[in-house]
Amino acid sequence: MASVKFNQVTKSYGKQEVIQSTSFEIQDKEFVVLVGPSGCGKSTMLRMIAGLEEITTGTIEIGDTVVNKLPPKDRDIAIVFQNYALYPHMTAYENMAFGLKIRGMSKSVIEEKVMKAAKILDIEDLLDRKPKAMSGGQRQRIAIGRAIVRNPKVFLFDEPLSNLDAKLRGQMRLEISLLHKKLQATMVYVTHDQVEAMTLGDRIIVLNKGVIQQIDTPQNLYNHPTNQFVAGFIGSPTMNFMKGKIYQEDEIEVFISEDQSFRLSLNTVYGLNPYQNVILGIRPEHIFSSQTLLKNPLQFQAEVRWVELLGHEGFAFFDLGGQQLSARLRADELKDPPFSKKLYIEGERLHIFDADTGLNLM
Amino acid sequence: MKAFWNKISPYLIISPYIIHLGLFVLFPVIFSIVLVLHKWNIISPMEYVGLDNFQRLFSDRLFWKALWNTFIFILVHIPLQIVIALFLAYFLNEKILARSFFRAAFFMPVVISGVVITILWQQLYGLESGVINRMLISLGLNRVEWLSNPNIAMISIAIMATWKNVGLYVILFLVGLQTVPRSYYEAAEVEGASAWQQFRYITIPAINPTIFMVVILSTIGGFSLFIEPYIMTDGGPLNSTLSAMLYIYKQAFGYYHMGYSATLSIFFAIIIMGVVVVQKIFVENEEH
Ligand SMILES: Nc1ncnc2c1ncn2[C@@H]1O[C@H](COP(=O)(O)OP(=O)(O)O)[C@@H](O)[C@H]1O
Ligand SMILES: [Mg+2]
């Protein structure tokens, strides 16, 4: 098994630099998820690890070997593609056996390895079928099977679940997670879906426009996003943001929205610069209708204009400080809009970002 | 009035094609079936001869030679054509310099008249003054009797026909190659397949339908070999380039054996159909 190390790696297509200087290390046996919006360079990063894309500058190490010049087949990696890339004229068995056959293994060894992988993935009864005759989920299993028969040091996944429906996606997510425990291999998993990232990753690399925003555990990304991008990207529904300025009143910091219509006393001293332009961030699940359990309740009045019910809970939408905000509340706390309601922000859960740089100031 | 027009207009619109089909396809087919049972030299009235024409066909050594010649042509032409077309298409599908220029260049001979090309190649193949032989001699090699040696003439014609038609098949293969997703190759590359193994195990099976189409098209095209030997060699030397079509033509318009010529045509058509069916069965077995 092996670690994967990026040392000041960049990637350009012509003049366009799609990955800016990037350094990080993925530990042996770690499950790391690369997440970011479409076009941010996730696939490019993964394909550079695989050797399908040349590295413009810097070095990539797998294990302790610099692999810049190694062809994909000598890197001891396997990749699972979004479109599965199963060979249509071969059966599932032949698809899984192909790489072994190419490497000149004997028939009996191949059979043993394929059957072992098939057992792990519970696909023994699919082995005679061609990809055409399988569902999306089954094809994805075969594609994963093809990856595990070779017992590679590093597994690479490029959005492997995005072609599946929501229910199957949830199920396969769990299976990939279990597979990681079973195989004890290093896995790098690319997705644009933050839910997948949060549920699968030991650590998550958040990427935007070819720049790494944060590398951290799912919990830390959620609780301590380093900037406004990560805060908005991680968590669903997305965090509420409000532009404004910080003022100092009687030793206490006060936030006043850009349009002056909303004033929030922060009840604490964060040591923010007075008159600094900031963006206030609060997640919908950190706005409550009662203050009893809150450490630092910050009260305000919401004029609820719209409500979305999801059974046991729902979202209240209201305008505040020139922004539309949402709060996640219990269904019995919601009624037919419009209505006025006293709500409390948990001050401990508040985020304040620099309006210019987007950096988290807390 | 309008309703009437709506009803009639579709028929009017397709009528030119129907008239063409009737006049130049259906009528000749039916007429030649009738001719099979007759003797007719265009001038005197038809004479019913029963199955005499067939009897003659089976004992006509020259016809069997022409058929054999045609098979020789096809056996050289089709593999040559497929290999060259696939090879060219493979490289034209890569990111090479002046790709569109080459694509157009290879297609040019397809649209030039066969007569023009044949006359051109007749010059190239010339024994004394032909460019090819002059090049061979300047390289210190012996000249080749391209068109005058009975053992070589048909192969020379096959080479020329390949040059003329290959562009069409390059285009067909290019279309086929472009339907193969890049990720198949990437998956194979990661698995350790060499460029040749990728070609053999991924590309060839993936474009199998295209290969089949090319084989069928060039088989049918090969069987109808006519213009080239007609202009270049008139079937010679020693009837070595006498193709089946040329022989049928000569029977009809050289000797005015209309009935016999029709019999040959129909017999020949059945052979072509037979070959195509066998090819189809073969390819379908390959797929499963
Ligand atoms: N072969 C290529 N040539 C030029 N630009 C490319 C190429 N491949 C990707 N890009 C560009 O690189 C950026 C990152 O692409 P990609 O890694 O595929 O993004 P993601 O997988 O995050 O959606 C995009 O802006 C894309 O347009
Ligand atoms: Mg991608």
Please give the C-alpha separations between residue A271 and each of A3, A62, A84, A97, B228, in angstroms, as whole numbers.
40, 44, 52, 62, 93
B234 residue type, one letter: D
Residue B60 makes CB contacts below 8 A (sequence gap 6+) with none
Report which DSSP code applies to B116.
H
Verify whether ligand 1 is closer than 6 Å to residue A14 (CB atom).
Answer: no
pLDDT tens per residue, range A131-187: 999 999 999 999 999 999 999 999 999 999 998 888 889 999 999 999 999 999 999
pLDDT tens per residue, range A190-216: 999 999 999 999 999 999 999 999 999
Tally the residues of chain A: 362
- Torsion-angle region of residue A102: left (phi > 0), alpha (psi -120 to 50) or beta? alpha
Domain ranges, ordered by start, for chain B? 35-112+159-287
User: How many whole angstroms separate alpha carbon A171 and alpha carbon A123?
Assistant: 15
Hey, CA dihedral for A148, A149, A154, A155, is it positive or negative? negative
pLDDT tens per residue, range A262-304: 888 887 777 888 888 999 999 999 999 999 889 989 999 999 9
User: What CATH architecture does domain B35-112+159-287 belong to?
Assistant: Orthogonal Bundle (1.10)
Q: Long-range contacts: A261-270, Cβ < 8 Å, 24+?
A: A261/A320, A261/A321, A261/A322, A262/A300, A262/A320, A262/A321, A262/A322, A264/A298, A264/A300, A264/A345, A265/A298, A266/A298, A266/A347, A266/A350, A267/A296, A267/A298, A267/A347, A268/A296, A268/A347, A270/A352, A270/A361, A270/A362
Select the residue of B184, B189, B206 nearest A72 (Cβ to Cβ): B189
Mark the residues whose beta carbon lies below 5 A from ion ligand 2: A 43
Verify whether ligand 1 is closer than 6 Å to residue A306 (CB atom).
Answer: no
Chain pair A-B, CB pairs under 8 angstroms: 58
User: How many whole angstroms separate alpha carbon B116 and alpha carbon B163?
Assistant: 13
Query: Mean pLDDT score of chain B, rounded to an integer?
Result: 90
Other CB atoms within 10 Å distance of the CB of residue B117: 19
Nearest Cα to A190, choosing from A78, A17, A45, A48?
Answer: A45
User: How many whole angstroms separate alpha carbon A66 and alpha carbon A68?
Assistant: 6
Predicted confidence at residue A1, as pLDDT, reads 61
Residue A265: both structure tokens together: 């006393």
Residue with tokens 């040696």: B149
Select the residue of A51, A102, A146 nearest B193 (Cβ to Cβ): A102
User: How many whole angstroms separate alpha carbon B272 and alpha carbon B269?
Assistant: 5
3-state secondary structure of B118: helix
Per CB-CB distance under 8 Å, the chain B contacts of A98 are 188, 191, 193, 201
pLDDT at B276 over 90: no
Residue B68: both structure tokens together: 């054999």
Chain A contacts to B (CB-CB under 8 A): 50-52, 71-73, 77-79, 81, 83, 85, 87-90, 98-99, 102-103, 146, 150
Verify whether ligand 1 is closer than 6 Å to residue A210 (CB atom).
Answer: no
Other CB atoms within 10 Å distance of the CB of residue B12: 9
The residues facing A90 across adjacent strands are none
Verify whether ligand 1 is closer than 6 Å to residue A304 (CB atom).
Answer: no
pTM confidence score: 0.83
3-state secondary structure of A317: strand
Residue A145 makes CB contacts below 8 A (sequence gap 6+) with A92, A96, A114, A117, A118, A120, A121, A123
pLDDT at B259 over 80: yes
User: How many whole angstroms separate alpha carbon A248 and alpha carbon A269?
Assistant: 9
pLDDT at B288 over 60: no
Pairing of strands A203-208, A31-35: parallel
User: How many whole angstroms separate alpha carbon B234 and alpha carbon B257?
Assistant: 18
Backbone φ and ψ for A330, nearest 5 degrees, come out as -70, 150
- Which of these ranges, A1-5, B92-96, B123-127, has the smallest mean pLDDT? B92-96
